Amino acid sequence: MTVKLRPHHLNCLLTYVGKGYSPAFTANYDVIAGRLGAGEDILIVDGPDDICAPLLLEQAPHCLNDSVIERDRLAAADVSDLLGQPIEVGLVLALDTSTLARVRAAFSSGSVRRACEGCEWSELCTAIAAGGYAEARL
């Protein structure tokens, strides 16, 4: 099995600590973090992904907004540069400990955070990274 992720969620999963938009959202995210922690691969998708699923039941899910699509574009570009491979729809990515450490180091330094500008979670994510990701569920 693979976990379907949109590109900007490659950043978000680094600092996930059990907080989110709703109880259904966090329960779903806990399952996804567990799957990734158990070694499942990531399949890069366009648009709403496995993390977005509970939000799609809302009347106007923000997952469909142009601003979120722009976050995906920026995150894909930044992570592509970091990993030296295109982050594009259909890519299957193994999030092994080495790759996770590289992406976390880049996130902490700010080099893969253009997609985070203006995000309501940015301050929390900065604090999680500054704490060495000790509270992160992944």
Distance, CA of 49 to CA of 9 (rounded, Å)? 9
Distance, CA of 98 to CA of 104 (rounded, Å)? 10
Edge-to-edge strand ranges of the sheet holding 2-5:
2-5, 41-44, 92-93
pLDDT tens digits, residue range 19-43? 999 999 999 999 999 999 999 999 9
pLDDT, position 57: 83
Q: Which residues are 3's β-sheet partners?
A: 42
pLDDT, position 59: 84
- What band does 58 get if pLDDT is binned at 50, 70 and 90? confident
pLDDT tens digits, residue range 76-133? 999 999 999 999 999 999 999 999 999 999 999 999 999 999 999 999 999 999 999 9
The pTM of this model reads 0.95
CB 107 within 8 A of CB 129: yes
